[in-house]
Amino acid sequence: MSTHDQEILDTYKKLVATRDRVEAGELPWSALSEFFTEDATFVDPAWGRVRGIAAIETFFEDSMQGLEGWTFPHQWSMVDGNRLVSAWMNRLPGQRDDGSFYEIPGLSVLEYAGNGKFSSEYDHLNMVHVFEIMKESGWKPAGPMKTPPNPVPR
């Protein structure tokens, strides 16, 4: 593995460690913005395209409001050039009677800009599957939720 690849993986590991602290309630969701450049773009399957660090900070807070207890366990990641691809689970609180989780797989594609920052992230997951798992689990929001903009910027 090259030094460059290791730098990208190390940066992503720090991002995941920060996300773990956010999920534990130690930090706000906007803390993840420290891993993005000022002009970064974030694309979410429900919220669409978000441009610029200030908008990304707001997106992190707004999109996660009411989803307390949801976690996003990292599964694997790989680097190709400046690109990192990561697989993770979108896990709802609770478990089925058989002990399995209510979860949906997701993929993120991030473009590394150097100096511990990513210039873009594009998240991929099946939103229909998310809604099916929400219904199956009986999940209800922990509090008020914000909805994606209408129309969603694509």
113 burial via Cβ count (<10 Å: 0-12, 13-18, 19+): middle
Could you tell me what percent of the chain has a pLDDT over 90? 96
Q: pLDDT digit string (tens) for 1-41?
A: 899 999 999 999 999 999 999 999 999 999 999 999 999 99
Strand blocks (E) in 3-151: 36-44, 48-51, 74-80, 83-95, 101-114, 117-124
Domains and CATH numbers, the chain: 3-137 (3.10.450.50)
Total-model pTM: 0.94
Out of 16-20, 52-56, 146-150, pick the least confident.
146-150
Mean pLDDT of 77-87: 98
